[in-house]
Structure formats: C-alpha cells, structure tokens
Structure 1
Amino acid sequence: MAQDFPTTSRPGEVKLEATTEEKPPVVRRGLPQVFRLRLVYSSHDILNPPVLFTPSRGATPMGRDVRSGIPLPRDGRASRLHATLHADALGRLRVVDEQSRNGTYVNGQRVDEALLEDGDVLSIGDSYLVVRAEPEHQADAPVPSLLGDAPSMRALRAAIHRVGPTAVTVLLLAESGCGKEVVARAVHDASRRRGPFIAVNCSAIPEGLAESQLFGHLANAFSGAVARPGLFRAADGGTLFLDEVGDLPQAVQPKLLRVLQDRMVLPVGATVPVACDVRIVAATNRDLTADIAAHRFRGDLFARLSEFPLGIAALRERREDILLLLEHALGAPRPRISPALAEALLLHPWPFNVRELFALAAQLRIRGGEAEVLDLELVADRLEPPSSAAPAASRPTTAPDRRLPSDRVASSEEEARREAEEREPPPDRAQLEELLRAHRGVVADIARAMRRSRKQIYRWIAHHNLDVQRFRS
C-alpha cells in the first residue's frame, strides 16, 4: 500500500528545512558526515525503498498530522504531534517525546528524551526508522545481486564496480552467513571474464588431497591416479573463489603463494608448470592477522591475497536492509507483516546474518500459510525480545567482528528475570482477554504495560488458546 510521503528531486529523500536562524557552518575534519533517518516500515507496510529524511538544525516535528518534518499520515497509533527531533550544530540528533499517546521508543526502550546514535531504531507508533551517520555524498553502483539501501552496501557496490574490471586479488572479510559467495560472484560478473566462476570451500578439502584438488595431478602420480586438471585450471579464464581461505592447510600455503606470483600451476607428479589465467577472490571469517602472529597463516600469502580487501557488513550493522531482504526472501505473493514482527526483526541481533534471515523467512512462509498478515507469534521462539536485542552503534566493517552476539553471556540478573517469567503462572482467561481488548491485540503494548517479554505474553495466549486476531478489529 502506497504511503503519502512528500516527493523530492532525489528518490526517497526529504530535505527538512531548519526552523531556527542559520548559523555559521561548523568546520569538520575528515569526510563530512550527516545524520539521516530511513523510514523502513509504517502501518503494516514495508517501504521499499525506505523514505530518506535529512534533518537540518533546529526542531523537526514527527507525527500523524504534521505539515513539515516527518509525516506519518497512515499510522493510526502515532499521535498528531508525536515527537520532535533536535539537531545541534554538529548535526547530532536528540529525540523528545511530546507526551504522545503510545510513547516513543529507541531500540525497544521507551524514552522521554534520548540522544540518537548511528544504527539506532526509532519507533513512533507503528512506524520504524533507522538512524544512520553516513558520508554526505555516498557513491553507489548497479550490482543487481546485492540488495540494500544501507551506506555500507552502497560503498560495497561502488567498490565492486571499481575493482571488478581489474586483475587484482580480492579478499572478502565477513562473518559467516553474510553472503561472501554472492559478493565474489558479483566481482566475477563485474570483471567481464569469459571463463567460469568456480567456488571451493578450503575448510572442506582434506589436507592430504588439498594440493591435488587445487593444482591437479598427472596420471599415475599416485596409486590408481587418473589425470585431473585441478580447480585452478578448471577456472582458467574465469574466477576461482577460495572460501574460508584461512583454513587452508599450512603445507599448501607456500604453493598457493607461488601460483599467485607466477600465474602457473605445477600439478602433482609434473616437473613443468602450466600457465593458468585465473582471477582469485578469497574470503575468510577468521582474524588472519592473529593467525599470522600464531604462525598458522603465512604473512606473505596474506599480503598477496589482500591486494584489495573488501569488508561485508554484518546484518546487525545494516538494519535498514532487514525488512527489504525479508520481503525478497518471502517471494510472491508478498504478505504484509505486523508491527510487532517488524520491531522484533529490526532489533534481533542476527548472529548468523543473512543466512539466518532467509531461514526465518522460510519458516514464516510455511507457518503463515495463506495469511494476509504475518505476525510475531509465528516465529517468536526464534527472535529475542527487544529489551535484550538493542543494537550497538554500527561502524564500517574493515575486518570481521569476532564478538558475535551468540557468544555473549547474558547477565545473571537477566537470566533470573527470564526464569522467573517462565515460572510465573498465567493470568486467568478473562484477565488476559481484557488486556487484549484494552490494547487492541497488540502484544508488544501488553508486554510493555506489564513489564514482561513478548515471549511471556505469547506463552500466556497459547496457554489459554486465544486467537489474537480476534482482538485486532
């Protein structure tokens, strides 16, 4: 359903005028950055592309019935004047709740006033905006396979457009599940090389067969051997993608270095090397600098592989892309999603990145059946409540972050609270029905009012076998 948002000369962008007198510009060092907000969801609609707002200095009103600023005309849960944004001389944003009916939330926490940081999720009624500090002028390039509006994705597409036609070796640095092979294939497509794209997982190659599989072998090179060209020669004229290159056996590393230097391979059992025209794209989720220090990986090989390093942002660092990717993964026909599900998706830490999102989309499609609106209760067991999933400030990715959310240990206080919730007896059916009526079936509002997690509320609903949709009319 289309939203009634102002149109601008730049697609998706609304330039907000300052409401205070102009002051001399502040001199900043380095690349100029601005704070922008992307409206990614409003009133059951995923906005594709997101609506982009660039606040100027002064006060910017937000609400269902504001003449300028950030209008949310179709959001029935937003107050007429819900909140205001205040930008200081450095462009930093502060949100102030204007005694709204349903409250203003930052990363799932209700606030009266809060300073907004890069990567924060701002909730106004049933509308969600992602705050981003980004370069004032962000380059982009057409790479159809890489979806997303986040600044990190724009920078990645622009970098692929630049490096693709060259012959340099590219090293992709990313956490597991970020789509390294998709990026590697995009580099191959941008290279316009006519040969094939061949992917190999280095961690899956048995150590004793690594040399033979990569470089090939002659007939009778070992007992019963039949001549094989190897992966390098199979990719001749194209691109060889070495995934998880950090797991390559140490005995093979110097031989790979020689191939990268000479562009020739020496098959097992041969005495004369064979020329091979292959573009190498490697990838790892390991900290190779630590492996070099521990003598598990050769420094000279790392230098050769990382002629052009490319970082791929983790999904939690590009929250403005989560709902767009979900919509893509759900396929057609595309059902709408409830505000509670939108919020949970935006605040989930996504330890397994895009791969986890695609798996969750498949579960939603199966469990949701023919439903017109997909709700949180379908996947509540897979998504953490907002109170424990608030995103940390995002940062540009130049190397994989080893501190994955899945490795974090919950505090003893949080564990005790969850255990107490699980032991707590549910309210009786009449009380729960009254709560559902009072909050129009919005589970997130019930959870906030009762200071319980949404998982707990859903457990109560399941205990009494109640249909939430019946209260949402």
Structure 2
Amino acid sequence: MGSDPTFRQAISLAKKATRTQSPIMICGATGTGKELIAQSIHNASIRRDKAFIAINCAAVPKDLMEGLLFGTQKGAFTGAVDRPGFFEQADEGTLFLDELNSLDISLQSKLLRVLQDRKIRRVGGDVEQEVDARIITAMNMMPSEALQSGIIRSDLFYRLNVVTIVMPSLQERKSDIPELANHFIQHFNNLFGMDVKGISDPAMQKMMQNHWSGNIRELEHAIESAFNMMDGGQDLIQEYHLPAYVFQTKKEEISLASPADFSQEIDLPKMLEELERDAIMTMLDKCQGNVSKTAEALGLRRQALQYKLDKYNIQRVFIQKNKVEPSSDYI
C-alpha cells in the first residue's frame, strides 16, 4: 500500500510480471517488502495453486545449501536419506531465492546449469529429472554493485535479471508513512484486542523525521512497541510511547557509525557514558518523568535504570529542571 510514484511504479511492474513465466529479480534494502512482492506475484500468476517455496540464501550454511536446493540421495553421505530439494518441491510453482548475493559462487554455477537445462540431479544421485519452477530472486543491494564486486556471476545474473523490480526504501517514500502506520495500528488492534485510534501530531512528526534504516519492518516494530507501552484506556500513540531509536536523527546515526572520522584520540568510555546519559535524559523527558515507562522504552529493567539514574545523578537534575517532587515511580 502507498501512493508514492516510485513505489507505484514497482507495483505496476510486478503486476505485469504475473502474466509471464520469466525470471524476476527484486532489489531493495532489507525490510522493503521483497518477499511480499514475490509472493504476491506468485498468487496472481497461473501458478497460484502450486507451491511457493522461499529460502534465504544467507541463513543456510553453504555446505547444506546444495542438498536443500537439489535434494539428497540415500547413501550419498553418512546419514543421507532420500529427500526432495526445493526445486522439486517448487515444481510447477515458484521458487524464491532471497539474498541471492549470499549464495556461494560454486553453487551459482550449478544453479545456472539447472536454469539452462531445467533438470536437477540430487546430491549423490545419478538420475536427472526435469523441474518446472519459476525463479524469483532478491538481493539487498543493487545489481551493478553485486557485479562489480564479483559477488554474482555475470552469466547467472543476466539469466535471472529478465525482469527487474526495485523496491524503494521507506526514506524514499516518507509520504506513505501515515497510511502504513494506520494499517499497522489496525493490525495490532485486532491482534491485541485494543482500540487505538491513531497517532498524535507530535508523534507523527517524529516518525516523519526518522531515517527508518530498517524500512517498513522497522516501522511495524515501532508501532508494535508503542502498543506495548500504552496504558489501559489510552487510545492515541504519543511521543513517549515510541521506541528510543525513533528520536535518533540520521546525523546521529552517521556520527556513531563512523568513528574513523575523528581526527584525534578520544576517550571512548567517557563518550559512551555521555551518550547513555543523554539518551536517558531525553527519554525521561518524553515519558514525563515516569521511570517504568522510560525503562521499557529503553529496553532496560527498572532496577537497571534506577542504578543509572543514581550513577549519573539524573534525578537531581530532572527535579531541578522540571520543579517536580520525587515519588515512587515519577522522578
């Protein structure tokens, strides 16, 4: 869902691809919805009644990947049994290879052979059998980068890259954030039995300013986190319900991720303490001095946060700044 032009263009191309059997390559950062697009293409194609088999190439050790893809023959190695591989399981259906750029180079050559001959041979077997699986692949990097770095064989790439769909990052389609956020609110209302109406304007402003390096998946988790922070009877997501990383700007992310940019020696322990203190102070303000909510938002136990409050003398600073009286749960 969304109305951003780059996103609508990707959806339009995906719909066109459902009419043919050509290989498809989906490119985009992690969390942009590549597998969802692949499954949607399958569900709208003539193969919809057959299997959709998905495998993450980065999640399987290379020693096991060959057997998973092509199957195994009993006696091929110790403990081997007759087991069909993903190509056989996806016969007449769709095989989705996610994070193709993580697939071992030696396996890429065998995959190319299968694509050309449409035949597979199980590991340890001596009989070839035909398979008819539509191949959809995905990479979390752009094709040009994968080719230049030698991660992907060029002959395999051109075989798979018949149709290319590029999924934009959430940073590139920020206008869709309100619609996506409302969708996830309805989803978690149904899941948790709650009745959250929406997001306050200040909270939405923070969400629009966030970089969302984890894309739509990160947005979904942020909404789920906010649901867990809300008290009974609250029906609007406020700033202090959002997780701490939503308040981190892109500039802060870059400065923390690039320590090599410092031109002189630094006291790392002292810097980390200052960052920790600032983060606690910021979230304490967002939670209006509520220690329990601050601890939950920071992913800490209440006792651990209380220790840090004492360590950095934050209680005294907060009381003087906000002119409040200390209590059991509110500073």
Does TM-score exceed 0.5, indicating one fold? yes
What is the RMSD computed on CA atoms of the aligned residues?
A: 3.3
Residue 272 of structure 1 deviates from its aligned partner by 2.9
**Alignment check: 8 A CA contact 2:169 2:215 kept:** yes
Q: Which residue of 2 aligns with 1:141?
A: none
Shift in alpha-carbon separation, 1:345–1:461, aligned structure 2, 3 A: farther
| CA distance in structure 1 between the aligned counterparts of 2:225 and 2:24, rounded to whole angstroms | 35
Shift in alpha-carbon separation, 1:294–1:381, aligned structure 2, 3 A: closer
Aligned ranges 1:219-234 → 2 under 5 Å: 219-234=74-89
Higher strand proportion = 1
Residue 335 of structure 1 deviates from its aligned partner by 2.0
Query: Is 1:289 paired with 2:144?
Result: yes
1:191 counterpart (28, 32, 45): 45
Shift in alpha-carbon separation, 1:406–1:168, aligned structure 2, 3 A: farther
| CA distance in structure 2 between the aligned counterparts of 1:407 and 1:279, rounded to whole angstroms | 43
Higher helix proportion = 2
Residue 258 of structure 1 deviates from its aligned partner by 0.9
Shift in alpha-carbon separation, 1:422–1:267, aligned structure 2, 3 A: closer
2:15 counterpart (151, 161, 186): 161
Matched letter for residue 92 of structure 2: G
Corresponding residue SS for 2:127: coil
Matched letter for residue 9 of structure 2: A
Query: Is 1:342 paired with 2:196?
Result: no
Query: Is 1:377 paired with 2:240?
Result: yes
Gaps of 5+ in 1: 1-146, 391-403, 427-431, 433-458, 467-473
Paired residues in the alignment total 271
Residue 409 of structure 1 deviates from its aligned partner by 4.2
With structure 1 as the length reference, what TM-score do the two structures score?
A: 0.52
Q: Which residue of 2 aligns with 1:275?
A: 130
Gaps of 5+ in 2: 190-194, 263-270, 283-287, 289-316, 325-331
Higher relative contact order (CA closer than 8 Å, sequence separation 6+): 2
Residue 153 of structure 1 deviates from its aligned partner by 2.1
1:340-368 deviation line (CA, Å, top 9, x unaligned): 10101111100010111111111111112
Aligned ranges 1:321-470 → 2 under 5 Å: 321-331=176-186, 332=189, 333-369=195-231, 370-379=233-242, 381-384=244-247, 388-389=249-250, 409=258, 422=278, 464=322
Matched letter for residue 154 of structure 1: R
| CA distance in structure 1 between the aligned counterparts of 2:102 and 2:128, rounded to whole angstroms | 25
| CA distance in structure 1 between the aligned counterparts of 2:126 and 2:64, rounded to whole angstroms | 19
Matched letter for residue 347 of structure 1: Q
Query: Is 1:244 paired with 2:107?
Result: no
Corresponding residue SS for 2:218: helix
Shift in alpha-carbon separation, 1:236–1:156, aligned structure 2, 3 A: same
Corresponding residue SS for 1:382: helix
Q: Which residue of 1 aligns with 2:121?
A: 266
Q: Which residue of 2 aligns with 1:215?
A: 70
Identity, % of aligned positions: 31
| CA distance in structure 2 between the aligned counterparts of 1:272 and 1:178, rounded to whole angstroms | 40
1:57-101 deviation line (CA, Å, top 9, x unaligned): xxxxxxxxxxxxxxxxxxxxxxxxxxxxxxxxxxxxxxxxxxxxx
Matched letter for residue 117 of structure 2: D
Matched letter for residue 366 of structure 1: N
Residue 196 of structure 1 deviates from its aligned partner by 0.9
Residue 288 of structure 1 deviates from its aligned partner by 4.3
Corresponding residue SS for 2:123: coil
